[in-house]
Amino acid sequence: MAGKDFILFNLFSREKRRYKDFLPCNALLAVADGYLVPMEKVPDEVFSQKILGDGVAIQISSQTICSPANGMIDTLAPHAFGLVLPNKIEVMVHIGVDTVSMGGKGFKVLAAEKSQVKQGDPVIRVDKDFLENKGFNLITMVVVTDARDFQFRYSAEGTVQAGKSVLATYEKCV
């Protein structure tokens, strides 16, 4: 009996696992806190018509934009970045509609081009109040620009948390 008690004690005294330990490794996570909407509802035809690729968008409520997955930042602008995952999937994160016209004002780049990032790592900080006062819609698109041989399933509308909520899962096509 003493042996069984010891085993039970060890089962319950293990180090707590983090929330991220339970997330699927083949997932894109939310890049910011906010409300998830389908790409078709983005008020920009380039995105809503999926000209650059399929994905989802977040009406952001936070100011830090994070990496949706592990990978390398391939391209970086104050208002957007491109990410290449280890499996060669390419993802673009674009902050706001027509924000390129600000020439970088209202954005602070936190990562470097060609750097390695992990899911949830901060990449860009947004001065949300400044940009919204200028009339910009800061809906942030997460677009799969090259899916390779993978099939994506995108999450439905709802509240999301940066680095925690799953935006999409993917699996290799057979």
Beta-bridge mates of residue 37: 57
Count Cβ atoms below 10 Å from residue 121 Cβ, excluding itself.
16
* H or E stretch covering 133: helix 128-133
* Edge-to-edge strands, sheet with 139-146: 116-117, 71-77, 80-84, 90-95, 139-146, 54-60, 34-38, 158-160
Residue 94 is among the residues annotated as catalytic for this protein: yes
Q: Report the DSSP pairing between strands 71-77 and 116-117.
A: antiparallel
Q: Which of 42, 65, 64 is nearest to 139 (CA)?
A: 42
Q: Following DSSP, what letter does each residue of 85-117 receive, concatenated? A: -TT--EEEEEESSSGGGGTTTTEEE-S-TT-EE
Q: Look up residue 42 and give its amino acid.
A: V
Active-site residue identified among 31, 85, 94, 97? 94
Q: Among all residues, which ones are annotated catalytic?
A: 94
